[in-house]
Amino acid sequence: MIRVLLADDQTLIRAGFRALLQAEDDIEVVAEAADGEQAVALAARHLPDVALVDIQMPVMDGIEATRRIAADPALAGVHVVILTNYGLDEYVVNALRAGAAGFMVKDTEPGDLLHGVRVAARGDALLSPAITRRLIGEFVSRRPESAPRELDVLTNREREVVALVARGMSNDEIAAHMVISPTTAKTHVSRAMIKLHARDRAQLVVLAYESGLVTPRS
């Protein structure tokens, strides 16, 4: 059973998401929060698999709530998915840097939302990878400062894997592209995450763009 926390200051939106999610046999909404502070507290109390968090909320916004959840080792199993009204929003990039596993627009198709929740619960893929990397690439490309050197700790093989993750490939797709087993691909991804202190694949994408390993047009 996938346990979900809903965090949105609009009661009707929460009710709509709850009705959609609760209709599924494998998903349970365990708590609802009306602001970011409540979201952090309820995440600690209920330990959901997925937290659907609105960016703009009173008391504490979704970015700060995400940062606090991601920073708490006791909440390492909580995968934050940011909800936004806009597909390309710089706030989303900041949320990904803060530790969000991905994002979805609020007007997404119901089936896509359900799929996204299941993917986030597995923790093995990005949500909407094509949009995510386009968004990150757009804002990273605007910054003139020199690229950071975090990726220097990786082997060439690991750098190749990170680049493929940044292009939105799953472990199976990476395995097929590199002619290795899915288990080996997953191992390379896991080692890269450990070396880069990345919470999940979303942060690998951010680092890949910020380091210059992948560019918006590559």
Give the up-direction half-sphere exposure of residue 78: CA atoms within 13 A in the CB hemisphere: 31
Question: Which residues are 3's β-sheet partners?
Answer: 28
Report the alpha-carbon distance of residue 172 to residue 12 in Å, rounded: 39
For 160-214, how does the pLDDT look when each residue is reduced to its tens digit (9 = 90+)? 999 998 877 888 889 999 999 999 999 999 999 899 888 777 778 778 877 778 7
The pLDDT value recorded for residue 85 is 80
* Secondary structure (3-state) at 7: strand
15 contact partners, CB below 8 Å, separation of at least 6: none
Tokens, residue 3: 């346990």
Q: What is the pLDDT of residues 108-164, one digit of tens each?
A: 889 988 988 988 888 755 555 556 556 666 655 555 454 456 788 999 999 999 999
